[in-house]
């Protein structure tokens, strides 16, 4: 196994659109299974990422047939790639805030007021 980045054949806006679509899929599954903390964190992370410099491109097909944890791993790789291909402070801030909500280690730390 290597730590090389996943390189996808699309631009930042298309990657952003696919990433947000995957996040919504994960949100729907978490809500359906009554995992409120995951659904809440995904919703906030989607909102934070939406404040970045990206724009929605065309619709994307859903990722079907993969277990929840595998899609979470895919989401992690997509977020890393999106940050890699996007320059600018706004992208770094939006990504940092979104990833902060998705980090399970954050649960053991007290939340800071917004």
Say whether pLDDT at 89 is over 60.
yes
Say whether pLDDT at 1 is over 50.
no
Say whether pLDDT at 13 is over 60.
yes
The pLDDT, as a whole number, for residue 108 is 53
Contacts of 44 (CB under 8 A, 6+ apart): 101
- Which of 9-13, 75-79, 89-93 shows the lowest per-residue confidence on average (mean pLDDT)? 9-13
Say whether pLDDT at 113 is over 70.
no
The pLDDT, as a whole number, for residue 8 is 55
């Amino acid at each position: 196994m290597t730590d090389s980045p996943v390189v996808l054949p699309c631009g930042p806006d298309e990657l952003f659109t696919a990433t947000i679509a995957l996040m919504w899929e994960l949100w729907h599954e978490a809500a359906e299974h009554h995992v409120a903390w995951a659904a809440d964190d995904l919703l906030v992370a989607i909102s934070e990422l939406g404040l970045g410099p990206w724009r929605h491109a065309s619709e994307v097909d859903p990722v079907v047939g993969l277990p929840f944890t595998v899609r979470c791993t895919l989401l992690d790789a997509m977020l890393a790639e999106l940050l890699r291909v996007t320059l600018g402070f706004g992208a770094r801030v939006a990504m940092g805030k979104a990833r902060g909500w998705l980090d399970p280690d954050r649960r053991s730390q007290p939340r800071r007021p917004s």
